[in-house]
């Protein structure tokens, strides 16, 4: 019986040694590829608990090695609670140093779903704890600095809360939001329905932005996507008001008139077939998902009830009745 205990202890010891050795070899390698942008240590948490949280959140692949490294270096009691920003290029060694030195997050920037790029940029510029270097730069120059030359900025940044570490710049926040949108969009695109009439991730991003601006009701997003998808398949124009508003720019004063619906801007989907040339806002996760997973059905129309939800119709006649009921004279 004793030899079984001895063997078990020997195997356990060897396993721990291997895990620790593996961790030490990776000290200067980057963290997990899809780690979160912020990590929080709560007051009273010990190193084992912190390591377990790091593992569950996808920051480190080897919690035993992380724990052992802090024990062997004598730093296991030095972790300081707070919220920490995890840079995309951060290594395991830098992570340990960050948590031990207590360089907690100094601020946060929140990008709201449905905001435009201009609104997000204003929010970043108004975050005074950041270092600012983008003031006065045009969209093309900003996108080049982000690493996305030739891309239009609208819709390319993921709406989320981004935590800032001391010394971070406005460009650092933009880069993080851009990379996160790429990751989220690619994830949804890889799992898309195969029969949707969207032939690139960018087209899906445009569709998601229309869905985001059309409804604030999460349960309606796939229904909205279903209507737009069927219209594209039938060659019908999308005729969605948010694209008209976006195309009007500063001329929009809170009301769409009949003459606005026939104004020939690149974004007016009452005038032009298909999707607009770019997204019209920053879509969130639910809208990205809905764009590539439209609800089945036969409805081709919807009208706002005025309370944030919509009435869906299968025929033009039923739609016209709904318009008379909910939006009579709205465009006059």
Question: Domains of the chain: which residue ranges?
Answer: 2-101, 107-186, 193-326
Burial (Cβ within 10 Å: 0-12, 13-18, ≥19) of residue 194:
exposed
**CB of 173 closer than 8 Å to CB of 124:** yes
The candidate with the shortest Cα–Cα distance to 155, out of 191, 216, 208, 91, is 208
State the average pLDDT for the chain.
85
Q: How far is CA 304 from CA 216, 236, 250, 321, in A?
A: 11, 20, 23, 13
* Unique residue bearing structure tokens 């979160």: 36
**CB of 269 closer than 8 Å to CB of 237:** yes
Interval 152-180 mean pLDDT: 88
Interval 109-127 mean pLDDT: 93
The candidate with the shortest Cα–Cα distance to 115, out of 283, 291, 287, is 283
Q: How far is CA 159 from CA 17, 29, 89, 245, in A?
A: 42, 29, 21, 21
The candidate with the shortest Cα–Cα distance to 87, out of 136, 37, 126, is 37
Q: Helices marked H in the chain — which ranges? A: 2-25, 47-56, 63-72, 92-101, 117-125, 139-146, 170-190, 201-214, 221-234, 241-248, 258-261, 285-292, 316-326
For the chain, the helix, strand and coil percentages under 3-state DSSP, each to the nearest 5: 45, 10, 45
Structure tokens that stand for 90 in this block: 């951060």
Phi (first) and psi of residue 303, to 5 degrees: -140, 145
What pLDDT shows up at residue 6? 53
| CA dist., res. 212 & res. 208, Å (int) | 6
Between residues 291 and 94, which one has the greater pLDDT?
291
pLDDT at 141 over 60: yes
| CA dist., res. 38 & res. 163, Å (int) | 6
Least reliable range by pLDDT among 57-66, 79-88, 182-191: 79-88
pLDDT band at 331 (very low <50, low <70, confident <90, very high): very low
| CA dist., res. 18 & res. 12, Å (int) | 10
Segment holding 302, helix H or strand E? strand 301-304
pLDDT at 187 over 80: yes
| CA dist., res. 205 & res. 186, Å (int) | 10
Which region, left, alpha or beta, applies to residue 308 given φ > 0 means left and ψ of -120 to 50 means alpha? left
The candidate with the shortest Cα–Cα distance to 67, out of 85, 57, 79, is 79
Interval 217-225 mean pLDDT: 93
pLDDT band at 58 (very low <50, low <70, confident <90, very high): confident
The candidate with the shortest Cα–Cα distance to 92, out of 15, 141, 137, 35, is 35
**CB of 205 closer than 8 Å to CB of 185:** yes
Length of the chain: 332
pLDDT at 16 over 70: no
Burial (Cβ within 10 Å: 0-12, 13-18, ≥19) of residue 49:
middle
Between residues 27 and 275, which one has the greater pLDDT?
275
pLDDT at 287 over 80: yes
Q: Going by DSSP bridges, is the β-strand pair 107-110/161-164 parallel, antiparallel, or unpaired?
A: antiparallel
**CB of 185 closer than 8 Å to CB of 198:** no
Between residues 84 and 196, which one has the greater pLDDT?
196
């Amino acid at each position: 019986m004793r030899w079984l205990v001895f063997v078990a202890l020997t195997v356990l010891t060897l396993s721990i040694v291997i895990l620790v050795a593996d961790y030490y070899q990776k000290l200067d390698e980057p963290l997990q590829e899809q780690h979160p942008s912020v990590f929080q240590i709560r007051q009273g948490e010990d190193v084992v608990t912190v390591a377990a949280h790091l593992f569950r959140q996808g920051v480190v692949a080897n919690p035993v090695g992380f724990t052992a490294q802090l024990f062997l270096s004598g730093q296991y009691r030095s972790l300081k609670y707070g919220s920490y920003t995890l840079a995309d290029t951060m290594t395991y060694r830098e992570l340990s140093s960050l948590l031990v030195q207590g360089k907690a997050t100094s601020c946060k920037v929140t990008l709201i779903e449905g905001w435009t790029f201009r609104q997000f940029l204003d929010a970043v510029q108004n975050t005074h704890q950041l270092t600012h270097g983008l003031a006065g730069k045009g969209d093309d120059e900003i996108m080049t600095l982000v690493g996305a030359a030739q891309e239009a900025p609208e819709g390319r940044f993921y709406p989320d809360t981004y935590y800032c570490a001391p010394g971070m710049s406005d460009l650092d926040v933009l880069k993080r939001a851009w990379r996160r949108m790429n990751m989220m969009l690619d994830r949804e695109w890889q799992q898309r329905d195969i029969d949707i009439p969207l032939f690139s991730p960018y087209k899906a991003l445009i569709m998601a932005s229309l869905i985001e601006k059309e409804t604030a009701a999460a349960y309606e997003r796939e229904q909205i996507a279903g209507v737009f998808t069927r219209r594209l398949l039938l060659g019908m124009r999308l005729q969605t008001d948010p694209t008209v508003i976006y195309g009007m720019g500063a001329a929009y004063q809170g009301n769409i008139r009949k003459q606005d619906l026939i104004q020939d801007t690149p974004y007016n989907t009452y005038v032009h077939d298909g999707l607009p040339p770019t997204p019209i806002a920053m879509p969130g996760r639910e809208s990205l998902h809905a764009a590539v997973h439209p609800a089945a059905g036969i409805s081709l129309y919807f009208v706002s009830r005025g309370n944030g939800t919509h009435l869906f119709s299968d025929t033009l006649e039923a739609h016209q009745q709904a318009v008379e009921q909910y939006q009579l004279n709205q465009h006059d």
